[in-house]
Homo-oligomer: A and B are copies of this chain.
Amino acid sequence: LASAVAQGMVRVPTHLVSTICDDRGEEPTYNGVSMSELIEGDYGIGDVISLLWFKRKLPKYATKFMEMCIMMCADHGPCVSGAHNSIVTARAGKDIVSCLVSGLLTIGPRFGGAIDDAARLFKAACDKGQEPAAFVEELKKKGVRVSGIGHRIKSKDNRDKRVELMQNYAKENFPSTRYLSYAVAVEEYTLQKSSNLVLNVDGCIGALFLDLLSSSGCFTEKEATQIVEIGYLNALFVVARSIGLVGHALDQKRLAQPLYRHPWEDVLYME
């Protein structure tokens, strides 16, 4: 077919379009950057993500921030939904991919998947200059929770260290932390309502990505909007947590744990 097409004998429209990676030449390239360049140059995993997701090279502070997010979101103990499902699957004797995937599928609005929603809400509100209090109350009236706010365990007096570390990094390295400031103002307001309505990891990453998109000078306003709309940011959590989910699955296999069965006594059977 290739040669028939080349000779102009037939014209078939292709059925797929792809723009991030080219594997046809001597070496595969990620958005035009070859493997050799990646390895020989001063590239890291954050750069690979920049090239494959954002299709551009980002400044060092930005790729370092992404790597920090990955490191800090890599795991959060065996009790959260994702790790729990990966553990149960590992104990059922399944392969690593199945274990990982069974856990990944719990990532969503309530677990790890609030980054994009948080970014969407903070962007819309901050861009139109809405007061934090008005923002929270408007959502409340609609019966919608503020994404990026709230934690099952953490609270005002038992802050999530990861959130703190990210904030410090950004304050030192980002050109601007305008959106983060907005998110913190929102948190101040929600903490008056209940002590566990803290800015959570999702909310913090969401706000800081907005700062990155708007102040790095690498994205047009339109591109930033599209990235937030499509939802690139949860994906970062997903890739990060893959490391932990695999870790939990390997852990169970190493410990040779038997088939898990949830204890009957822990279930309330109702009509």
Contact = CB atoms under 8 A, between A and B. Distances in A.
Contact of A1 (B104, B248, B265): B265
B250 A28 contact: no
- For chain A, the bracket of interface size reads 35 or more
A156 interface: no
Interface string A79-119: 11100110111011111111111111111111101000000
Interface string A253-271: 1110111111111111111
A76 interface: yes
Among A30, A255, A271, chain B packs the most CB atoms within 10 A around the CB of A30
A9 B12 contact: no
Given A23-B76, A102-B85, A16 B243 contact: no
A75 B20 contact: yes
Interface stretch (A44-52, A181-189, A192-200, A210-218): A44-52
Contacts of A1: 10, 12, 263, 265
Interface string A1-33: 110110001101011111111111011101000
A116 to B, nearest CB: 9
Contact of A109 (B27, B70, B93, B235): B93
Contacts of A264: 2, 24, 79
B45 A70 contact: yes
Interface of A: 1-2, 4-5, 9-10, 12, 14-24, 26-28, 30, 34-36, 38-39, 43-45, 48-49, 52-53, 67-68, 70-72, 74-81, 84-85, 87-89, 91-111, 113, 152-153, 158, 161-162, 165, 169, 226, 230-232, 234-235, 238-239, 242-244, 246-248, 250-251, 253-255, 257-271
